[in-house]
Copies of this chain bind each other. A is one copy, B any other.
Amino acid sequence: MTASVQNSSLNRDMLSRMDANDPLAPFRERFVIPESLIYMNGNSLGPLTISARDRMATAVADEWGSQLIRGWNKAGWYDIPWRLGDKIGRLIGAEAGETVVCDSTSVNLFKAVAAACGLRPERKKIVSEVGNFPTDLYVLDGFKRFAGDAFNVDIRPREEIADAIDAQTAVVVLTHVHYVSGEIFPMGEISRLAHDAGALIVWDLSHSAGAVVTDLNGSKADFAVGCGYKHLNGGPGAPAFIFAAKRHHAAMSQPLSGWFGHADPFRFTDDFEPADGVRRLLCGTTGVLSATALEAGVDLMLEADLHAMSEKAVALSDLFQRRAAESCGGHGLELRSPDDARQRGANLSYGHKSGYAIMQNLIARGVIGDFRAPDNMRFGFSPLFMRYTDVFDAVEILRDILESRSYEDSEFSKKHSVT
């Protein structure tokens, strides 16, 4: 299934033939992608699927509109958190009953960290990474402020993480695929380090789920959270997910104990009795409309071979990097990602002192990547809708912008240039 691109000098016709032979190519038609765009931002906001568009119209007009309150049972709204959670579970190496969909990634991370720390009450140290996705660090900061000064949040550069994990460590909180560089943490290895020290591991899969083969149970992960609106194509602000390994279910608890985490929410009792299993990680009512769009995205993804997707993402990213090295050299692009495409997820970044202006020029010409402060241009490689020729064309446009230096004249060049 691997789409190997051995020769980066492949011309466009050869890439066009690769697209024609790509077993994942038919998935592109299932998405709504404006004809004029090369969308390299599925890692930030996945595009609309045809099925999500249709499903949303039904959910709004037929379910909410006609069934009204009866939709909770008739339309299956009530079951969404665990029904959809189990579907996502199949993409991340979870068993049924280990994943629920709810809240935002940030809120879920708070719950996961609190639950994990609750399982290691005698330990007061949390290890994470410098430059982790900011909200993860902000949530740890909030947890520490709230849980008390006894907690020590030890934020280290990647190369020092292993040393930081010690006998005081309750939890290690890391993002599997880095949001800028795409660098992948070896899940099994880090998990073993944490467990050897008696600590637990919490993974943020926001940039992994739906793009990179991820095996939570195979790597003995304890908890995980992740985002619904990136590679899972759930729509803007789609709800997130949270995973807890079965071995922790009986003992775990978390402070956001709302009625959907109750053993019997409609008994309407005053006393909180946690639901069995992963459902005790739920809190309030799930955003049904947003979750419905996410379910359509996930259902589509489950039709694809996850290994083939992951391989194609690697091939697309590798092609971009090698074409860029050939075509765009001498213009100050600095690779901010591992050199080996297999060591990164489905996103890749380049630093450039005029990164912001160049990205705005790319966007104006229909290549939609994004900019991440201070100077990173980030490109995503979504295997279900991207073509090899898209990568070729994107690099040609990037080359043209760099060679013509058109970005220097643009309205964006001054205010965001990093000097």
Q: Are A288 and B236 in contact (CB-based, < 8 A)?
A: yes
Q: Are B134 and A259 in contact (CB-based, < 8 A)?
A: yes
CB distance from A242 to the nearest CB of B (A): 12
CB distance from A411 to the nearest CB of B (A): 15
Interface centre among A69, A253, A286 (most CB of B within 10 A): A69
Q: Are A238 and B45 in contact (CB-based, < 8 A)?
A: no
CA distance A48 to B66 in the complex (A): 9
A373 at the interface (CB under 8 A from B): yes
Say whether, besides A45-B69, A77-B236, A284-B240, A139 and B106 are in contact (CB < 8 Å): no
CA distance A293 to B71 in the complex (A): 16
Interface centre among A47, A56, A236, A255 (most CB of B within 10 A): A236
Say which residue of B147, B254, B288, B289 sits within 8 Å of A142 (CB atoms): B254
Q: Work out how many copies of this chain go into the complex.
A: 2
Q: Are A257 and B142 in contact (CB-based, < 8 A)?
A: yes
**Contact residues on A (Cβ < 8 Å of other chain), bracket:** 35 or more
Say which residue of B143, B240, B268, B286 sits within 8 Å of A237 (CB atoms): B286
CA distance A132 to B60 in the complex (A): 31
Closest residue of B by beta carbon distance from A44: B69
CB distance from A179 to the nearest CB of B (A): 9
Closest residue of B by beta carbon distance from A132: B270
CA distance A148 to B148 in the complex (A): 10
Q: Are B145 and A287 in contact (CB-based, < 8 A)?
A: no
Segment touching B, from A34-42, A212-220, A299-307: A34-42
Say which residue of B70, B107, B147, B267 sits within 8 Å of A283 (CB atoms): B107
Contacts of A60 in B (CB 8 A): 48, 52-53, 56-57, 235, 293
Q: Are A237 and B77 in contact (CB-based, < 8 A)?
A: yes
CA distance A205 to B148 in the complex (A): 31
CB distance from A237 to the nearest CB of B (A): 4
CA distance A375 to B398 in the complex (A): 68
Contacts of A266 in B (CB 8 A): 373
A372 at the interface (CB under 8 A from B): yes
Say whether, besides A287-B239, A289-B235, A269 and B134 are in contact (CB < 8 Å): yes
Contacts of A32 in B (CB 8 A): 61, 65-66
CB distance from A60 to the nearest CB of B (A): 5
Question: Contact residues of A with B, CB < 8 Å?
Answer: 32, 34, 37, 39, 41, 44-45, 47-48, 52-53, 56-57, 60-61, 63-66, 68-72, 77, 103-107, 110, 114, 130-132, 134-135, 137-139, 141-143, 145-148, 155, 229, 235-240, 253-262, 265-272, 283-291, 293, 363, 368, 370, 372-373
7 A-B contact pairs sorted by A residue (CB < 8 Å): A45-B64, A47-B65, A57-B60, A106-B259, A134-B265, A237-B291, A267-B373
Chain A to chain B: the 9 pairs with minimum beta-carbon distance, closest first: A104-B284, A106-B258, A106-B284, A146-B255, A142-B257, A236-B288, A135-B259, A287-B290, A237-B288
